[in-house]
């Protein structure tokens, strides 16, 4: 631990004490939790971003594709407003948030909602959507007012919660003891399937109880696809003979940068903070960098999430004549994927059978 972290530890301990008090109040029933009538599945973490929540929300939706209708709910980080709102494909990231818009444009048959008050939003969704089979919540593990039916907790291979500290000394936003509330824990961004011995070591270091399910997942990158000026996705593009400027506004761009370097002979990167709302100055900076960083054929490459925030700037402005490609990602369970899918199906199906 560095000197700066040591100096910040007392503030992290104070924050931790406040969190323990809050959780104790919920555990004792002095603060109330609400169990929704519809099956609810939370995909969350203990840290601030970078664990791959949205790809795992999409994975859950894929596992439950035999159920309809399905819905998702998130706060809609970075959007203008806090109330409950149904997301449409024609919306903007400024209005509904980049990740909800991404989900809606990729999964047209899923009802995507945003709302800061998860309990109230779920009540409104249940009233509006007849026969709703399940709601998948992106990032609601810390919302103790909501007593979800199934909690899926994520942590990363490179920075698991047992090697981290509470803010401001680290990136944890909740105490690690809360991991006991999760029925499922997934170690994400794994380099490959760990051996059974390594899996046992992870279970011990994570402090999991016997009844908690432990899975390991990896992220798979899709082929780069052209981003058309109307915001639709075009065909696959090759970067083998193309220099790439990688434009990102995500929590951890390093894995994607490493991946793009395997596809292109020359790569420069222009990173921004997670959920960054691109300004005219940012776009001008990107265009200027595109004009100077390489002499060969060039392309701007970005993520699906970042593309949602670039949509209003595709037809006019500095990016209007710059070719842009998008690289999507999907999460894959490495150990016993069929068992993971069946766990989700059983949760939703059993709930439906007893309604």
Dihedral of CA 222/223/227/231: which sign? negative
SS3 category, 2: coil
d(CA 63, CA 66): 8
Lowest-confidence region among 5-9, 195-199, 258-262, 320-324: 5-9
SS3 category, 69: coil
CB 221 within 8 A of CB 256: yes
CA distances from 170 to 1, 138, 159, 163, 310 (A): 10, 22, 11, 9, 31
CB 179 within 8 A of CB 22: no
Model pLDDT for residues 285-306, shown as the tens digit of each residue: 999 999 999 888 999 999 999 9
Model pLDDT for residues 242-299, shown as the tens digit of each residue: 999 999 999 889 999 999 999 999 999 999 999 999 999 999 999 999 999 988 899 9
Residue 216's region, left for phi above 0, alpha for psi from -120 to 50, else beta, is beta
> Which residue ranges make up each domain of the chain?
3-218+333-353, 223-327
Terminal CA-CA length for the chain: 51
Residue 170's region, left for phi above 0, alpha for psi from -120 to 50, else beta, is beta
Strands 213-221 and 111-114: unpaired
Pick the CATH number of 3-218+333-353 from 1.10.3720.10, 3.40.50.300, 2.170.190.11, 3.30.930.10: 3.40.50.300
What DSSP character marks residue 34? B
CB neighbour burial string for 299-312, b if at least 16 within 10 angstroms, e if fewer: bbbbbbbbbbbbbe
d(CA 313, CA 329): 23
pLDDT value at 230 more than 70: yes
Q: How many other C-beta atoms can be found within 10 angstroms of the C-beta atom of residue 109?
A: 9
CB 105 within 8 A of CB 113: no
Strands 225-227 and 324-327: antiparallel
pLDDT value at 353 more than 70: no
pLDDT value at 352 more than 60: no
Domain 223-327 adopts which CATH fold? Rossmann fold (3.40.50)
CATH topology identical between 3-218+333-353 and 223-327: yes
| Residue from 343, 350, 345 nearest 64 by CA | 345
Structure tokens at 82: 């806090």
d(CA 299, CA 200): 44
């Amino acid at each position: 631990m560095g000197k700066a972290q040591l100096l910040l530890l007392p503030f992290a301990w104070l924050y931790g004490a406040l969190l323990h008090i809050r959780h104790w109040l919920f555990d004792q029933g002095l603060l109330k939790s609400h169990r929704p009538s519809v099956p609810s599945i939370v995909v969350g973490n203990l840290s601030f971003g970078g664990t791959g929540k949205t790809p795992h929300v999409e994975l859950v939706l894929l596992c439950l594709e035999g159920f309809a209708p399905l819905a998702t709910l998130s706060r809609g980080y970075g959007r203008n407003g806090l109330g409950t709102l149904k997301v449409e494909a024609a919306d903007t990231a400024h209005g509904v948030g980049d990740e909800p818009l991404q989900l809606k444009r990729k999964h047209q048959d899923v009802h995507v909602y945003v709302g800061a008050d998860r309990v109230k939003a779920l009540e409104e969704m249940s009233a509006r959507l007849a026969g709703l089979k399940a709601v998948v919540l992106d990032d609601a593990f810390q919302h103790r007012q909501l007593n979800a039916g199934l909690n899926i907790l994520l942590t990363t291979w490179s920075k698991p919660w047992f090697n981290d500290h509470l803010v401001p000394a680290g990136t944890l936003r909740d105490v690690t003891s809360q991991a006991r509330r999760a029925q499922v824990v997934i170690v994400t961004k794994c380099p490959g399937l760990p051996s059974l011995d390594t899996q046992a070591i992870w279970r011990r270091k994570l402090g999991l109880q016997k009844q908690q399910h432990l899975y390991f997942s990896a992220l798979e990158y899709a082929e780069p696809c052209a981003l058309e000026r109307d915001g639709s996705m075009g065909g696959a593009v090759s970067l083998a003979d193309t220099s790439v400027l990688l434009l990102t506004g995500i929590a951890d761009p390093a894995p994607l940068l490493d991946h793009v370097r395997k596809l292109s002979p020359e790569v420069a990167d222009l990173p921004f903070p997670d959920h960054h709302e691109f300004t005219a100055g940012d776009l001008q900076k990107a265009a200027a960098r595109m004009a100077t960083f390489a002499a060969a054929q060039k392309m701007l490459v970005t993520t699906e999430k970042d593309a949602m925030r670039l949509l209003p700037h595709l037809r006019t402005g500095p990016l209007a004549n710059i070719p842009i490609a998008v690289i999507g990602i999907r999460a894959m369970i490495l150990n016993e994927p069929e068992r993971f899918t069946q766990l989700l199906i059983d949760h939703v199906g059993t709930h439906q059978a007893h309604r």
